[in-house]
Amino acid sequence: MALLDGAKDEKSEQGVPLNYLSSATPQELLTAFEPLVAGLKPDEKLKLVASLFKGGWLPSGEAAGLAGLDEAIFLDEVSKQTKGQKARPAGSDI
């Protein structure tokens, strides 16, 4: 995710985006990410798709669809993940 986020805002000296993903539509991003998430376990898929959503790569509806969940359930799961991350001590791998 760090690589995607770093590449998202890279521009040439003339201000032209250097990364196609920064101007891709949500549908194009779904097409690009679908093969990646297809082989993941459900919890891994949710974690990745939640990161894509929280990073601003996908709107909630598209992210929920990619995760295979109803949008309300997806947003609830993202909220639980966020609360769980805040509760963990810094440097914890749990």
Residue 64 lies in a domain: yes
pTM of the model: 0.72
Which is more confident, 13 or 85? Answer: 13
Output DSSP code: residue 58: S
Residue 14 lies in a domain: no
What's the average model confidence in pLDDT over 57-86? Answer: 90
Residue 2 lies in a domain: no
Q: Which residues contact 81 (CB under 8 A, 6 or more apart)?
A: 46, 47, 50
The alpha-helical segments, DSSP class H, found in the chain are 2-8, 26-38, 42-54, 60-67, 71-87
CA atoms within 13 A on the CB side of 91: 0
Q: What is the pLDDT of residue 85?
A: 64
Residue 70 lies in a domain: yes
- Number of residues in the chain: 94
Say if CB 9 and CB 55 are below 8 A apart: no
Residue 32 lies in a domain: yes
What's the average model confidence in pLDDT over 13-31? Answer: 80
Output DSSP code: residue 17: B
Q: CA Rg, the chain, in Å?
A: 15
Structural domain harbouring 62 = 25-87
Residue 93 lies in a domain: no
